[in-house]
Structure formats: structure tokens, C-alpha cells
Amino acid sequence: MDMSKHKEIKYESSDKAIENKIEHFTFHGLEELNDACEIIMKKRRLKNKNPIHLSIAIYQLAKLRMLQFYYDCIDFYIDRSDFQYQEMDTDSAYIAFSCENPFQDCIKPELREHFKQHKYDWFPRDYNNDVTKFDRRTPSLFKDEWSGDAMCQGCAAGRWSEQ
């Protein structure tokens, strides 16, 4: 939260006290009331409760994980003629595959055994129902949340394109 916009409001009625507040470096504004003034002052000290460096680190690690998924998993195991990235965010990727079951049919033949050994570095375990439920909540594993035949994207010109 941006604490720099927080203000202190003080009420004064004596002219000398009002002048002192106006001359102070934290003065922000003044509103006259019937026999007093409402003086708005900037806060002298701000206590930032949100560690911004932690937020930046989490965001950067999410971007790094998405790039690792692209280069170390998708691009490594699947031929480039069999997939096309449609869109990517820090927590999701929209990919068009040429196969119905991309992580079974589109894997390069010479890397199928390697993929079977390292599959669970990228995806939830699927050999047991109990571990599948646990792994679906594990961060940094990629889950298929939706599959379909079309994607609708907005263009900068305000037109829609279908892919």
C-alpha cells in the first residue's frame, strides 16, 4: 500500500497556531470552518509495512520459472513445428499444440525416456490419486487448467482475432 498519500488532519482555532502550521514543511492544505480551520498535514514519518524487495523477488522468480518452462521443457522436449505460444503471463501460458495429447504424442522420440524421468519436475504426479491432489496445490508445477480448440485475443487496434 502506498503510505505516502496518507495525511494527518488537525483542527486549530487560534490565528498564531494556524500560521505556525501553514509555515511548517509538512503543510498540505487548509479548509476554513465556522470558527476554526481544518489543517491537512503530510505525515512526517512513513512506516512502509510492505517489503517491496520481497514483492519484486517473487515477481522475478515467477518470470524466471515461466522462462525455464519454455526453454527447458517445452522447447527442449517438443519440436518447434508442433507448438506455438499464444500468450504468457507470470503464472500462465497459452500454447497451441499440433497433437491432442501434447505431452505424450508431441515429445521428440529420442527424448521420450528422458521426459518420463523428468516429467514430475514440471507437472503434478499422476500415478496415484492421493499424490495428484497434493501436487495440484504445489507451487511451480504446471497444471492443465483448461483445454480447447480456439482462443480469442484482443488486438491493439480494437479488433478481435481468432487463433
The per-residue pLDDT for range 10-64, each reduced to its tens digit, is: 999 999 999 999 999 999 999 999 889 999 999 988 887 778 888 899 999 999 9
Q: List alpha helices for 119-163, DSSP H.
A: 129-135
- Is residue 21 situated within a structural domain? yes
The verdict on 11 and 76 lying in the same domain is: no
pTM of the model: 0.64
Domain limits for position 26: 3-42
Query: How high is the mean pLDDT of the chain?
Result: 87
Domain count, the chain: 2
- Is residue 163 situated within a structural domain? no
- Is residue 49 situated within a structural domain? no
What does the pLDDT read at residue 16? 93
* Element at 102 (helix H, strand E): helix 102-105
The verdict on 66 and 133 lying in the same domain is: yes
What does the pLDDT read at residue 109? 95
C-alpha closest to that of 148 among 89, 86, 69, 106: 86
Q: What are the beta bridge partners of residue 27?
A: 41
- Is residue 48 situated within a structural domain? no
The verdict on 29 and 88 lying in the same domain is: no
Strands 93-97 and 160-162: unpaired
| Contact of 7 with 42, CB cutoff 8 Å | yes
- Is residue 149 situated within a structural domain? no
Dihedral angle over CA of 142, 148, 149, 155, nearest 10:
-70
The per-residue pLDDT for range 64-110, each reduced to its tens digit, is: 999 999 999 999 999 999 999 988 888 889 999 998 889 989 999 99
What does the pLDDT read at residue 67? 94
The verdict on 129 and 75 lying in the same domain is: yes
